[in-house]
Amino acid sequence: MRVGHWLRRLNSAAGWLAPHTAAEVWRRQFMTPRRLPPRAWELPVLEQGQRITLRFGLSALRWGYGPTVLLVHGWEGRPSQFAALIQALVDGGYSAVAIDGPGHGQSPGSEANLMIFANALLEAASDLPPLKAVIGHSMGGGSALLATQLGLRAEALVTIAAPSRIAPLLNGFSRYLGMPRQARAYFMQQVEAHVGLPVAAIDSARYQLPMPGLVVHAVDDRLVPYAQAQALHQNWPASRLLTLTAGGHQRVLADPQVLATVLEFLGSLQAPQRAGRRQS
């Protein structure tokens, strides 16, 4: 706690003395992910996947055969975090393709943000068969929502522990670092310049979301509050909301109820796609 207190005091002083410079330092920090190694339980699914390279060097892993489901992890995440869901999809007759997001894993890049991830999804989709669904966790879910506004086509979309809008996350980051008001304003401006959109525009309330959707969230998620899922569901008329009492931000990915509900949701989609799966 003392380290955090002194860090916030240092950031506050830097923000008062050199707000522009401090804001750019914080912006780089906010958009520079660490490439974290997989945990032991993730190794089997990595060994079973086929490594493929998509457009512009984007790296991905593929498992199984059948209609394609595209998965995208969150900030500092990995495809193998979807291990339980990947196995469920393969057992259900689907092909699971999970990308290493830009700046993550074996994909190129040193910085990442919601727009960079959204554009990567568009590029990935252009190299893959028509998508049965896109499943995104955390920032991956937020980027999938944004990508649909940029032209991403999929029969359905599943978000897991995803934000409905980005402004609260930026405000939380700025408060955590102790940014003074003027430096915080510069920080927001620099984020908007790099993303290419006003922060206020990255909000599901402003989106057109005609496709069927499944919103999954745990009440005890401390990183993305459950209220974000409620707002997303309200803004998305064609969505269903699956609420878990426990599961946090990460454990929810392997929850048996989530796996079963995702498969049931995919199976409920239009008959022509189901016929295609039986022929695979």
> pLDDT, tens digit, for every residue of 36-70?
999 999 999 999 999 999 999 999 999 999 999 99
The pLDDT assigned to 276 comes to: 36
pLDDT in tens, 79-103: 999 999 999 999 999 999 999 999 9
Least confident of 46-50, 117-121, 168-172, 249-253: 168-172
Q: Residue 37: left if φ>0, alpha if ψ -120 to 50, beta else—which one?
A: beta
Neighbouring C-alpha atoms within 13 Å toward the C-beta of 146: 30
Q: Which residues lie across from 71 on neighbouring strands?
A: 98, 135
d(C-alpha 43, C-alpha 34), whole Å:
19
Are 106 and 57 a contacting pair, CB within 8 Å? no
d(C-alpha 258, C-alpha 269), whole Å:
17
Q: Which residues lie across from 244 on neighbouring strands?
A: 218
139 exposure class (CB count in 10 Å sphere: 0-12, 13-18, 19+) = buried
pLDDT in tens, 6-34: 455 555 555 555 678 888 888 998 899 99
Place of tokens 């929850």: 255
The pLDDT assigned to 147 comes to: 98
pLDDT in tens, 216-246: 999 999 999 999 999 999 999 999 999 999 9
% of the chain with per-residue pLDDT over 70: 89
Residue 150: count other Cβ atoms within 10 Å of its Cβ.
11
Are 120 and 99 a contacting pair, CB within 8 Å? yes
The pLDDT assigned to 184 comes to: 84
The pLDDT assigned to 3 comes to: 37
